[in-house]
Amino acid sequence: MRILLVEDDSMLGDALCRSLTQDGFVVDWAQNAEDAELSLSSVVYGLVLLDLGLPDKEGLEFLSDQRSAANPIPIIILTARDAVVDRIAGLDTGADDYLVKPFDPDELSARIRALQRRQAGRFSPLIEHGSLVINPAIREVYRNGERIWLTAKEYALLAALIERPGTLLSKASIEERLYGWGDEVESNAVEVHIHNLRKKLGHGIIRTVRGVGYIIEEPS
Amino acid sequence: MNSIGRRLQTLLLGGFLFVGILACAAVYLIARDEFDELFDYQLVQVANALFRQGVVPLPSSISHEDEAKLVVSVWKDGKLVYADPPGIRLHPPRGAGFLDLPVGGSTWRAFVLRTDDRIIQVSQPIAARRDISFNFSVHAVTPLLVAFPIFAFFIWLSVRIGMSPLNRIAEDVGRRSPSQLKPLPIDGLPSEILPLATHLNYFMARLSDALERQKRFVADAAHELRTPLAVIALQLRILERSTGEDKSGEAIDRLRDGIRRAAHMVAQLLVLARLEPESPKAFSKLRLDIASGEVVAEHARIAEQRGVDLGMIEGEPVTVVGEVESLRAMIANLVDNAVRYTKAGGAVDVRVGRSDAGAFVEVVDNGPGIPPGERERVFERFYRCTRSGESGSGLGLAIVKSAVERHGGTITLDQGPDGKGLRVVVQLPALPAVIEDRTGSFPPT
């Protein structure tokens, strides 16, 4: 999943990027509201992590701007403001979750996964699809009870396709989910990852719609 | 117990008692004179009556009046022919008119009327007269004695009523917790207590300000430490998960940076806390030029690492009186800011010298500068310039400003000489140059 991090503190932003990347997320980092708005208008993100004290705009204002523009993207507020009134204001302005610094990095990742799960309309923490079982918390994939080892990108690709079975993803939108701003993307990278995934998972799970993209069908 | 109320009561009642005694004495003295006159007149009247009516009979109402103790004696040809009361036999007097006679050790007052053959004497012991005046005086002042407890009660009551505003204030203040610093109500307070209440209110207002400042400071401090702590927590996790020596080495460096940042924040907070207006001042002499040189030397390494040319421009020796640590922290924060915000290849110049106002420290850099609109706000605690991206404590210029104000100086922000960068000038009161020469070798610390 690709995450937009909006945080003006360079040290914290850097550490968050690294930590989230370790957890398998793709992170773009905006250091002010203007850059964040620009990113949101050009890239489809799965989630926004929002610091409230931004240099050019109050975080809450940024949040309400997004909500009044009918942007449904899940937003988690990361802030040092811990008063109950602040939490209430954050949630009522449209945030989906509210974490107070210093937060536990594992808790942040867990909350991101929880939001992702709710977004996909799932109840179980495990994603089951036919013979496949995926545990997003530890990023492990099982087929018929047998562990299948995937690279980070292969996992991200599988997670993106399986999240909403029956939804077709274009190559461009897959690239967008898998690579952040700084990443070099080979022109056939997606095809290579699809090829490797099929080798590991077996053919027939991921279907190619030629000239359009890829799809994992809903389990019958 | 030392009590204004009791003191007032004692003084007022004592005064009343004293006046009462004086009044008794005065009444007695006046009564004595009046009675003397009155009894003298009576003596004459009785004597005249006897003279006119012959020897007998004497009206019993006069002769037997107990208190007056009149004694009538009539001699004829030297022989006592009449005495009333009958038992008292006096010697015939010498002389006529009013006489004071010694009778058996006491003094009697007498009126003597002489005819050809008779001597009529009406006399009376003076002690009897005194008794009568005394009794009269006692009767006269009795109401005063009865009034004494009533008066005491009213004194007690008025002292109590008079002191009640004071008691109310004492109770109000006594009931308060340290955080209740609302001003005392001063409407309708008597003029004697008003200054006390007003000063108490002024004091509480200042205390409240100081408390409020402290509270805000602690809250801000805790708040600002959250971010460095979040950084440390994240970096620790990155370190735990990173594999390979290169990666974990890098992660350790980042973790160290995070801890350094938190430590720096704590140090800056402590400096700022010591610069609070309420904290005690410990002033001594400081050679500002030497201290600045030392600070510049301390920052030489970090400036070099950042590719910033940091140096001092030759100025003049100048001594100020101030807090050595505060002034050094002030210069260090100015230099640190300049080095931090100047890009590689930039330069930071520090100059110290004399001005009309006294001494000045000037720090000029050719970094991005501060837009005029932000020049006031940068002195606020935890304010960071927009788009600076720097992870400073946000306290540097707040420390500088506190230190400058503590020493009665001024600070101005301006752009650099070529319209770029930032020029900070701190003006401080300095010792005159004459004293300077004598203290030229004064150690900087």
B358-400 tens-digit pLDDT: 899 999 998 888 888 888 888 887 776 655 556 667 788 888 9
**What ipTM was assigned to the predicted interfaces of this complex?**
0.76
Residue A69: per-residue pLDDT: 92
Is the pLDDT score of B206 beyond 80? yes
Most distant pair of Cα atoms in chain A: their distance: 53
The verdict on a CB contact (< 8 Å) between B230 and A12 is yes
Residue A173: per-residue pLDDT: 86
How much helix, strand and coil, in percent to the nearest 5, is found in chain A?
Answer: 40, 25, 35
The gap from C-alpha B19 to its chain's centroid, in whole angstroms, comes to 36
Q: What are phi and psi of B4, to 5 degrees?
A: -60, -40
| Cα–Cα dist B240/B59, whole Å | 137
Most distant pair of Cα atoms in chain B: their distance: 160
The mean predicted confidence, pLDDT, of chain B is 84
The one-letter amino acid at B225: L
The verdict on a CB contact (< 8 Å) between A56 and B386 is yes
Span A112-117, average pLDDT = 90
The verdict on a CB contact (< 8 Å) between B234 and A18 is yes
Of the two residues B4 and A143, the one the predictor is more confident about is A143
The one-letter amino acid at B319: T
Span A23-52, average pLDDT = 91
Per the CB < 8 A criterion, the answer to whether A214 and A168 are in contact is yes
Span A169-179, average pLDDT = 86
Cis peptide before B195 (omega within 30 of 0): no
Chain B residues whose CB is inside 8 A of the A24 CB are none
Residue B444: per-residue pLDDT: 45
**Which residue in the set A12, A22, A103 is minimally distant from B238, CB to CB?**
A22
| Cα–Cα dist B324/B406, whole Å | 12
Span A2-19, average pLDDT = 91
Of the two residues B442 and B346, the one the predictor is more confident about is B346
Strands (E), B139-223: none
Q: What domains are defined for chain B? A: 4-144 (3.30.450), 194-273 (1.10.287), 281-438 (3.30.565.10)
Span A133-141, average pLDDT = 88
The verdict on a CB contact (< 8 Å) between A102 and B242 is no
Residue B58: per-residue pLDDT: 53
Q: Searching chain A, which residue's CA lies closest to the CA of residue B231?
A: A12
Position B437 confidence tier, pLDDT thresholds 50, 70, 90: very low
Chain segment B39-67, per-residue pLDDT in tens: 999 889 888 888 887 655 555 445 445 66
Q: Between residues 389 and 418 of chain B, which touch chain A (CB distance below 8 Å)?
A: 389-391
Span B311-329, average pLDDT = 89
Chain B residues whose CB is inside 8 A of the A16 CB are 234
Per the CB < 8 A criterion, the answer to whether B353 and B312 are in contact is no
What is the DSSP pairing of strand B309-313 with strand B347-355? parallel
Residue A15: per-residue pLDDT: 92
Q: Searching chain A, which residue's CA lies closest to the CA of residue B390?
A: A10
The verdict on a CB contact (< 8 Å) between A19 and B384 is no
Q: Is B253 on the interface with A (CB under 8 A)?
A: no
- Kindly state the helix (H) or strand (E) to which residue A129 belongs, with its residue range: strand A127-129
Is the pLDDT score of A99 beyond 90? yes
Residue A20: per-residue pLDDT: 92
B280: DSSP letter:
P
Position B440 confidence tier, pLDDT thresholds 50, 70, 90: very low
The verdict on a CB contact (< 8 Å) between A101 and B261 is no
Q: Is B257 on the interface with A (CB under 8 A)?
A: yes
| Cα–Cα dist B201/B182, whole Å | 8
Position A37 confidence tier, pLDDT thresholds 50, 70, 90: very high
| Cα–Cα dist B313/B364, whole Å | 10
Q: What domains are defined for chain A? A: 2-120 (3.40.50.2300), 127-216 (1.10.10.10)
Chain segment A46-77, per-residue pLDDT in tens: 999 999 878 888 889 999 999 999 999 999 99
Q: Which residues contact B3 (CB under 8 A, 6 or more apart)?
A: none
Position B434 confidence tier, pLDDT thresholds 50, 70, 90: low
B281: DSSP letter:
P
Task: Give the relative orientation of helices A105-120 and A10-22 as an angle to the nearest 10 degrees.
Answer: 60
Instruction: Beginning with the edge strand found earlier in the chain, give each strand of the sheet holding B347-355 in spatial order.
Output: B309-313, B347-355, B358-365, B422-428, B410-415
Q: What are phi and psi of B74, to 5 degrees?
A: -125, 125
Chain B residues whose CB is inside 8 A of the A104 CB are 233
Q: Which residues contact B306 (CB under 8 A, 6 or more apart)?
A: B339, B340, B342, B344
Position B441 confidence tier, pLDDT thresholds 50, 70, 90: very low
Per the CB < 8 A criterion, the answer to whether B331 and B320 are in contact is no
The mean predicted confidence, pLDDT, of chain A is 88
Terminal-to-terminal C-alpha distance of chain A? 26
Residue A90: per-residue pLDDT: 93
Chain A residues whose CB is inside 8 A of the B384 CB are 8, 55
